[in-house]
Structure 1
Amino acid sequence: MARLALALDPVVEDRLLADAVEAGHTIVARVVGWRDVLECLDVLGPDVAVVGAGRPTLSAELLAACDEGGIRIIGLAASDQERAHAARLGLHEVLDATATWAEIDALVSGGVPVPSRVGDVGEPRGLDAAVIAVWGPAGAPGRTTIAVNLAAELAASGHTAALVDADPYGGAVAPALGLLDEAPGFASACRLAGSGALDRAELERIAQRYSAPRASFDVFTGLVGPSRWPELARDRVVAALEAMRARYEYVVVDTGFSLEHDEELTSDQFAPRRNAATFAALGTADRVVAVGLADPVGLSRLLRGHGDLLDLVDAERVDVIVNRVRTSALGIDAHGQVRQTLRRFAGLAEATLLPHDGKAADAAILTARTLRDAAARSPLRAALRAYVDERLLPAPEPAQRRGRRIRFAQRPVTN
């Protein structure tokens, strides 16, 4: 299912509209010219633009905007002149204006994803799906905030991304993004994975969508209450994350804080383990982001927890992020003091330091949006964006203009 923007001849649109809706797609815009399509891209965030291949509805500016936003564009040509116009611009996916919706839907729903124009996006970089676990010690160091915004920045880079709330002590992702959490999405995924029924269709059914212009991503909400932690059994969590790995390019997991092996505290070796979901996420992750607060208490907790984390995860898979770096808590040269502390007590030569940006964080919480949407120019968002570019995204090919690898995912939508 996809969100469609249409810019077609009225006769063609009338012929196709009912079939498109019946196929389960959502029509977000019906306009008459390419400038109208251009204006709706950021506001309405369509997944696919179906436009006439003639000059009134197809232009180089529209192609450039769709390439930049990762929006698929399909042209319908009513004549040889329109086909030639589309060919001159470099549009690959052109069908005859008399095509049935079934023929168009093959491109909308299942066609081979290609960029609109040859040479603009560069060669594929061989990116494998990545699971990124965001962990931090007790004390609210900002795990959820960072997990949410990592997913947003990865999606904004043109990749398919999912955000998973796997905290067994109670979910925080849903309220942070203003999503409903009556039915915990990740627990549902775990139950389906346990029975071998977690396929692509089920993932789309249980995921909620955080919608934003050029940066939408799927969200699997967390537990409604901490008493439901037995639903996140270790084997089921691993199976669910592996299913998501096959569906998305990036899966960002907000984990729990505790690294305590609670099986040592009970005589029943077969009982569910409260921290099993956290251990499963850390073990499955390709990269673990360890988050701590930049104050004496927060750094102490991070250093102790980092040692426990390295007992579970190889050091080369761990990145350290220190949140809310400020002189009011650490004195003069706060950044230098943090780096010196990490180097002296944990041997950490590299860490990402995030500025204290309460105004931007408050704006995001108040509006239930990501930093990209609530405070796009804030220092905190800029620092997270730089981390994603430097540490999570594949490096651009040398001597080539940096471009995004455009992938087109199916999104659960309603009529």
Structure 2
Amino acid sequence: MTRLVLAVARDTEERILEPLLERGHDVLARLGLLDDVAEVIARTNPDALIADGDVMTEDLLSHCDDSGCRVVAVCSDETQRRHIARLGLREHVDVGASIAQLEASLAGPDLGSGREEASRGVVTAVWGPAGAPGRTTIAISLAAELAELGARVCLIDADTWSASIAQMLGMLDESPGFAAACRLAGQGALTHDELDRISERYPVSQGTLSVLTGLTRSSRWPELTQSRVTDTIEMCRHWADHVVIDTGFSLESDEEISSDLFAPRRNAATLAALRASDRVLAIGRADPIGISRYLRSHVDLLDVVAGIPVHTVMNRVRSGPVGLAAVSQITSTLQRFGGIDKPTLIGHDERAADAALLEGRVLREVSPRSPVVASVRGLARAMMPEADVPATRRERRARSARSRSTRAWHVSGRATSSP
């Protein structure tokens, strides 16, 4: 039996109150919107508090910590879930959760509030050399696939040379979100609430995809200084499960070409993003010129990231510029001249890319069967192995065939063994 205080909306209370009482729990108090929850906690000394997400505050959570009162938040939307995550509250359920799920949250290993250190998301930088290898397309597609797997994803356009994510997603780019975030970071005023305000939301069916759009004019690149970019990425890391950054192409250290050591650096945003990432997807174009450019730049990239894992992705694979057995030729060339093993090869689908650009939408929406979508989905699944990924049609078909084969074997076995 758990001694409870309820501070939830009336419809939620009506749904859970009777089942809780039937299961032997003792409800000490049922609070309204104007009640002082902390005062009731101090007076009744309950084992646990069940409260709506917007009821919880830092002070109330600290008071529950001091009182040894476990807290379970009931969240009705993504805004409340983000609020709870910012407070560091581990135990929460959706507003429509069953009584069994609610009891499972109540029956935690301890009676503390369940607060934990703020989670750290995974930062993936998407880089590619000059020559339009499709870096932005891959970054957008990867962010969308991660979101469709249920993650909270932040997509950042950090390209100081040719920012284009806003245009490709059909978003208004009058106010560059990433530059605004960097300015706030420079003032020490960047918070999760500010990121919610300045980011653009792209609609997805499962998780959330928030976009920090790039510079509206490339001449504004001095706004993206190294320290500001680093601080902004670190804040985004605690704001989202996955951060995907579309970087610029140039890896030059600007101080080598400037006599003023204190002048702004145009490539600082790219270098800072690469060094702040947990992994780098390096995109190359799968034709003789693109492969040559990639191999020359790959060495410089490894020097810049200094030990951060780099995964090679060769984009726009087709037999036209490479010849027969294009996959084999590309793979062997990368291994022979760059020591690059197991690259991801993405087929060429110009029709799907054109349709996505025309409609200002992600590839998976305009052409879900595109080989590009399938390859990027594989990258996303590798980044989220714990995700509950629905089976594809081919997987369901194979599973059904195995099931029919097993049933046939059993029937045949019974037939041969019958008298």
**396, 403, 406: which one aligns with 2:388:** 403
3-state secondary structure, aligned to 1:311: helix
Matches within 5 A, 1:127-166: 128-166=120-158
Distance 1:152 1:82, change over 3 A: same
d(CA) in 2 for partners of 1:372 and 1:314?
Answer: 34
3-state secondary structure, aligned to 1:312: helix
3-state secondary structure, aligned to 2:130: coil
Q: Which range is displaced more, 347-356 or 368-377? A: 368-377
Distance 1:79 1:381, change over 3 A: closer
3-state secondary structure, aligned to 1:342: helix
**266, 272, 297: which one aligns with 2:289:** 297
Displacement after TM superposition at 1:297 (Å): 0.6
Which whole-Å deviations, capped at 9, do the CAs of 1:126-185 have from their partners, x for residues lacking one? 984111100000011011101111111111111111000000113100001011111111
Q: Which residue of 2 aligns with 1:93?
A: none
Displacement after TM superposition at 1:98 (Å): 9.9
Distance 1:277 1:79, change over 3 A: closer
Contact 2:149 / 2:388 at 8 angstroms: preserved in 1?
no
Contact 1:174 / 1:181 at 8 angstroms: preserved in 2?
yes
Displacement after TM superposition at 1:213 (Å): 1.9
Which whole-Å deviations, capped at 9, do the CAs of 1:277-323 have from their partners, x for residues lacking one? 00000010000110010000110111111011011114551010000
Distance 1:150 1:51, change over 3 A: farther
Matched, 1:258 2:250: yes
Q: Percent identity?
A: 46
Between the two proteins, the alignment pairs up a number of residues equal to 315
Matched, 1:363 2:355: yes
Q: Greater relative contact order: 1 or 2 (C-alpha under 8 angstroms, separation 6 or more)?
A: 1
Contact 1:144 / 1:172 at 8 angstroms: preserved in 2?
yes
Contact 1:77 / 1:97 at 8 angstroms: preserved in 2?
no
Displacement after TM superposition at 1:82 (Å): 7.5
d(CA) in 2 for partners of 1:328 and 1:101?
Answer: 70
Contact 1:170 / 1:224 at 8 angstroms: preserved in 2?
no
Matches within 5 A, 1:225-374: 225-314=217-306, 317-374=309-366
d(CA) in 2 for partners of 1:286 and 1:80?
Answer: 46
Larger Rg: 2
Contact 1:237 / 1:277 at 8 angstroms: preserved in 2?
yes
Structure 1 stretches lacking a partner, 5+ long: 1-49, 53-74, 88-95, 120-125, 397-401, 405-415
Distance 1:374 1:113, change over 3 A: farther
Contact 1:153 / 1:215 at 8 angstroms: preserved in 2?
no
Matches within 5 A, 1:67-216: 75=12, 77=14, 104=52, 105-106=54-55, 107-108=74-75, 109=80, 110=83, 112-114=91-93, 116=97, 128-216=120-208
Provide the aligned C-alpha RMSD in A.
Answer: 3.0
d(CA) in 2 for partners of 1:229 and 1:336?
Answer: 41
Contact 2:277 / 2:308 at 8 angstroms: preserved in 1?
no
3-state secondary structure, aligned to 1:329: coil
Amino acid at match of 1:77: E
Distance 1:403 1:127, change over 3 A: farther
Distance 1:370 1:84, change over 3 A: farther
3-state secondary structure, aligned to 2:255: helix
Distance 1:262 1:335, change over 3 A: same
Q: Which residue of 2 aligns with 1:24?
A: none
Amino acid at match of 1:361: A
Q: Which residue of 2 aligns with 1:218?
A: 210
Distance 1:98 1:233, change over 3 A: closer
Contact 2:278 / 2:308 at 8 angstroms: preserved in 1?
no
Distance 1:329 1:77, change over 3 A: farther
Amino acid at match of 1:320: T
Which whole-Å deviations, capped at 9, do the CAs of 1:252-285 have from their partners, x for residues lacking one? 0000000111211111000001100000000100
Amino acid at match of 2:328: G
Distance 1:197 1:379, change over 3 A: same
d(CA) in 1 for partners of 2:304 and 2:160?
Answer: 18
Q: What is the TM-score of this pair, normalised by structure 2?
A: 0.69
Contact 2:168 / 2:360 at 8 angstroms: preserved in 1?
yes
3-state secondary structure, aligned to 2:124: strand
Distance 1:84 1:365, change over 3 A: farther
Structure 2 stretches lacking a partner, 5+ long: 1-8, 24-28, 36-50, 56-73, 85-90, 102-117, 390-419
Distance 1:101 1:267, change over 3 A: same
Distance 1:101 1:326, change over 3 A: farther
Amino acid at match of 1:181: D
3-state secondary structure, aligned to 1:354: strand
d(CA) in 2 for partners of 1:282 and 1:236?
Answer: 14
